[in-house]
Chain A
Amino acid sequence: MSTVYIPAVLRPSVGGVKSLDLGGGTVGELVHALLERHPGLGGQLLTPEGELNRFVNVYVNGQDVRYLDGLATPVGERDEVRLLPAMAGG
C-alpha cells in the first residue's frame, strides 16, 4: 500500500481525510484506485482522455512524475504520493 496525500482543496471530495492508503503498482493504478472509491475526483485529476490534468502535479517521494514516467511511474510499498494543485490565494 502507498500513502496518497490529498490537498485541502480536494478533501471534501474524499470525505475530508488527509491521506488514503491505496494499492497499485504505478501512479496511474493508484489514481484509478482513488477514483473507484471517490468518483467525484475524476474531472479534477484527469482529462477526458485519461491524462493527468496539467494544473495538478503529482509527486512520488518529492519528485514530480512529469519528469519520471507520468502515470506509468512505478510506486512501491511505503512510497509517498502527493497530489498538488495550484493555489492562487495571497
Chain B
Amino acid sequence: MPKTYAELLKEAKASIREVNPQEAEHLRAEGVTFVDVRESTEWDQGHIPGAIHVARSYLEQQIEAAVPDRNAPVVLYCAGGVRSAFGAQTLKELGYTDAISMSGGFQQWKGAGLPWTTPVVLSKEQQQRYSRHLLIPEVGSAGQARLLESKVLLIGAGGLGSPAALYLAAAGVGTIGIVDFDVVDVSNLQRQVIHASDRVGQKKVASARQTIEALNPDVTVVGHEEMLVGDNVERIIAGYDVILDGTDTFETRYLLNDAAVAAGIPVVHASVFRFEGQLTTFIPYEGPCYRCLYPTPPPPELAPGCSVAGVLGVVPGIMGLLQANEVLKVLLGIGTTLAGRLLIFDALEAEFTELKLRRDPACPVCSDGARAARERGEAPALSAFPADAPFVLSGAGLGALGGNDGNVGNSGAAEGRA
C-alpha cells in the first residue's frame, strides 16, 4: 500500500525521540554529538557550534565514519525538523540506539537566541581543489580552513624538505616558510624533487617558491635566505605553528631544538643515512626534546651527512612525507603524533621499528627545572650542560652560557642539504 508523505513523516516521528531546541542545548552542554543534516549551502550560512555536517543525502554513507559509536546519543537537526526526523529514523535502522531529532530545527534554534556560528567559507575553486579533504570528516571545511590559516617553517629545502613542501603546499597550508641559504646543485636533483634541472645554480628558496606557487596559489612562501644561527633563530621561528626539521647538521638540529622548546613550537624531526631514516615529533614539555633523545652528538666520523655517505633518494622522500603527515596532524589536532616515539625505517628490509622515548628529567633544555628557570627569566646554570654539550645556544631565552659566541654555524649545510 503506497503511503503519503504525511504518513511517512508521522511514522518516522513515532519511531524516534524528539527534543526541542532548549532541551537540545542541555544535551550539547553535556557533550552530546550534533549532526547537521542540511545541505552545504545551508550549513555555510550558519550552524550550531561544534556540530558535524553530514548532509541527509550522504547520511547512510558517512555517518559510521563521522559517529562511530552506535550507543552514544546523537542529535540530528535540519532547518525545520523534517529531514532530521527521517534521518534519525534511518540511524535507528543502522543500529544507533539513541538517535534524536531536534524539532523546529535550526530556524527555531536561532529564534530562541541559542548560539550559532558561521563557518569559514571556502571559495568555489578551493572547494574543488580540496574536495578530497572536505570529504574526510576529520578534516572537512573547518579543518581545511585551519590549514589555510596555518604557518609551517621548513628548515632546509633539501631531501626531507622538498617532498614535505610539495605535499604541505598541495594540502593548502597557507604559509610555508623556508630557511635555506644554499643554491640548487645538480647532485641534489636525485632526491630534492621540488627543484628542477633548469634551476641549477639558483637559490633553493627561489626554486622552491617557483614550484609551490605553480602548484597552489593559496600558499604564501616566506623565504629566509640565511644560515640558521644563534643570533637569528628566535626571530626566524617566531610565529610559526610547527617546524619541520630537515637539516643535515647536528649544529642546526641542537640550535633549533633549544630555540623551539623555548618558544613552545613543536618540531617534526627526521634524519636519514643511506637506507635508513629516523622520525619523531618533539612537542615542548609534553614529550622529550632532541637533547633528551641524544644528549650529545657523535663525533663526525660516526655521523657523516648525505653528501659524504650517500642516501637512497626515496629514503628522504618517504621520511619527508611522514614528517608532512605529522605536521598535518598537529595542525588539525587529529590522530596520535609520534611524540615520545621514535620511528626507524629500514628501506632494504622494508621494516619500520618503533622505540619508546622519554623526557629526560635532567634535560638542560626541557626539564621542569629548565622550564621554570626560563619562565623566571633565568638562564639555566652552566653546570646543567655536560662539559661536552655542543652548540649551546646563547639566544632563545637560554641566556649567555659562555664557551660559544652564539654565532653557531651550520657549516656542513654549505655542502648541500642531504
Contact B273 A8 (CB under 8 A): yes
> How distant is the Cα of A30 from the Cα of B311 in the complex, in angstroms?
30
> How distant is the Cα of A55 from the Cα of B305 in the complex, in angstroms?
16
Q: How many A-B residue pairs have CB under 8 A?
A: 104
> How distant is the Cα of A8 from the Cα of B26 in the complex, in angstroms?
59
- A-contact bits for B306-344, CB 8 A (1 contact / 0 none): 100101000010000000000000000000000000101
Contact B357 A88 (CB under 8 A): no
A21-29, A32-40, A61-69, A70-78 - the one binding chain B: A61-69
Contact A57 B293 (CB under 8 A): yes
User: Which A residues lie within 8 Å of B161 (CB)?
Assistant: 90
Partner of A55 from B253, B296, B412 at Cβ < 8 Å = B296
Also in contact, A8 and B296, with CB within 8 A (given A54-B386, A86-B303, A89-B306): no
Contact A89 B309 (CB under 8 A): yes
User: Which B residues lie within 8 Å of A44 (CB)?
Assistant: 302
State how many residues of chain B have any CB contact under 8 Å with chain A: 50
B140 at the interface (CB under 8 A from A): no
> How distant is the Cα of A72 from the Cα of B328 in the complex, in angstroms?
41
Partner of B356 from A7, A53, A62 at Cβ < 8 Å = A62
- Least Cβ distance of B314 to chain A in Å? 14
- Least Cβ distance of B306 to chain A in Å? 4
Also in contact, A8 and B276, with CB within 8 A (given A62-B356, A90-B417): yes
Contact B278 A87 (CB under 8 A): yes
Contact B295 A54 (CB under 8 A): yes
- A-contact bits for B238-278, CB 8 A (1 contact / 0 none): 00000001111110010000000000000000111111101
A85 at the interface (CB under 8 A from B): yes
User: Which A residues lie within 8 Å of B295 (CB)?
Assistant: 54-55
User: Which A residues lie within 8 Å of B276 (CB)?
Assistant: 7-8, 87
A17 at the interface (CB under 8 A from B): no
Contact B271 A9 (CB under 8 A): no
Contact B302 A89 (CB under 8 A): no
Which residues B79-119 have CB closer than 8 A to chain A? none
Which residues B16-55 have CB closer than 8 A to chain A? none
Closest 3 CB pairs of A and B: A55-B298, A89-B418, A87-B271
Name A's B-contacting residues (CB within 8 A). 7-9, 18, 44, 53-57, 59, 62-64, 66-67, 82, 84-90
Beyond the given A55-B302, A62-B355, could you list 4 further A-B residue pairs with CB under 8 A, ordered by the A residue number? A55-B295, A59-B355, A86-B297, A88-B248
Could you write out 27 A-B pairs with CB less than 8 Å apart? A8-B276, A9-B302, A9-B303, A9-B309, A18-B349, A44-B302, A55-B297, A55-B298, A56-B298, A63-B356, A64-B356, A84-B342, A84-B344, A84-B355, A85-B298, A86-B271, A86-B293, A86-B297, A87-B272, A87-B276, A87-B303, A88-B271, A89-B272, A89-B305, A89-B418, A90-B245, A90-B271
